[in-house]
Amino acid sequence: MGTRLSRIYTRTGDEGTTGLTDGTRVTKDDLIIEAMGSVDELNSAVGVVLTETIPDSVRAHLTPIQHRLFDAGGELSMPGTAMIQRQDVDDLEAALDELNEGLPPLQNFVMPGGTSAAAHAHMARAICRRAERDTVALHRHGPALNSHTLHFLNRLSDLLFVICRQLARVDGGEEVQWAPRQRPSSRAED
């Protein structure tokens, strides 16, 4: 592969536009840029989880996910391109089944936290949900997207939740369970 960037700044975006891979210029608040930014942020959040001390079984799933997220960003920057495949969704489902096996059934909602790695994974999960929302909005109001990419982001948020549960248990840790109020106040009493 040859050199892609010889100069980092180009000044072409100084007026609030940016270029897609096909040369099309769009505003930096365009839905396509929102979706690309969310997917990029998600990839960064997964990278933060990978800096933690985590089980090899989790690392083995997250490392290739980063590459697929880069592919998803590439799809968004090249309208009409499909890089995420059905097999990528199937791989997430297999990882979900593998990592969820042995976890106790949920008795309540799980709060972000437990361990540093679990908290970072919760952040990645929340960012994944935003990336999914942004991508769905783009799909509804912009060019039709690869349906596998939409499915991939949906499954990935589920997988990240299961990873949160796994990471909260590392070295004898525990999940933080939601402790609801015993009796919710009614609005009339406020």
pTM comes to 0.85
pLDDT in tens, 1-31: 555 656 666 665 566 776 677 778 876 778 9
**CA–CA distance from 7 to each of 10, 23, 27, 113, 183 (Å)?**
7, 18, 22, 40, 60
Dihedral angle, C-alpha 162, 116, 47, 93, nearest 10 °: 0
Q: Please, what is the average pLDDT of the chain?
A: 88
User: Using CA atoms, how far apart are residues 154 and 89, in angstroms rounded to an integer?
Assistant: 9
pLDDT surpasses 90 at 55: yes
**The CATH number of the domain covering residues in 24-101+111-169:** 1.20.1200.10
Q: Which is more confident, 111 or 104?
A: 104
Write down the domain spans for the chain: 24-101+111-169
pLDDT in tens, 146-166: 899 999 999 999 999 999 999
pLDDT surpasses 70 at 188: no
